[in-house]
Amino acid sequence: MSRQEVYDAWRERSRQVDMAESFADQVMNHVYEYQKDRSKQFLRFRWLVDVVSEHPLAQASLVVIGTVTGLIRVAFVICMFLRT
């Protein structure tokens, strides 16, 4: 057997693939699971948006939280400035 024949036989063997017949099904199951999780996350976010847009109290709470956070940030910057 020539060197080239040995190499060709090895190359041909390396090109063979043994794989589960259900491989594509397994991949698609993972994809469906991922898609389901993503949909759940989107629904959760959508629910939050709906709650905020439908309830004035939720809107007011959001504004208060935003204002307080902003004030804390401003106070922090002023403190930093005064220290230097």
- Please report, as ranges, the residues that interact with other proteins according to CB under 8 A: 1-3, 6-7, 9-11, 13-15, 17-20, 23-24, 26-28, 30-32, 34-35
Q: What are the distances in angstroms from CA 62 to CA 32, 71, 78?
A: 35, 14, 24
Give the contacts of 20 (CB within 8 A, at least 6 positions apart).
Answer: 26
Task: State in angstroms the smallest separation of the CB of 30 from other proteins.
Answer: 5
Task: State in angstroms the smallest separation of the CB of 41 from other proteins.
Answer: 13
Q: What are the distances in angstroms from CA 13 to CA 7, 9, 18, 20, 52?
A: 10, 6, 11, 18, 62
Task: State in angstroms the smallest separation of the CB of 77 from other proteins.
Answer: 37
* Nearest residue (CB) to other proteins, 26 versus 61: 26
* Nearest residue (CB) to other proteins, 24 versus 74: 24
| DSSP state at residue 22 | T
* Nearest residue (CB) to other proteins, 18 versus 54: 18
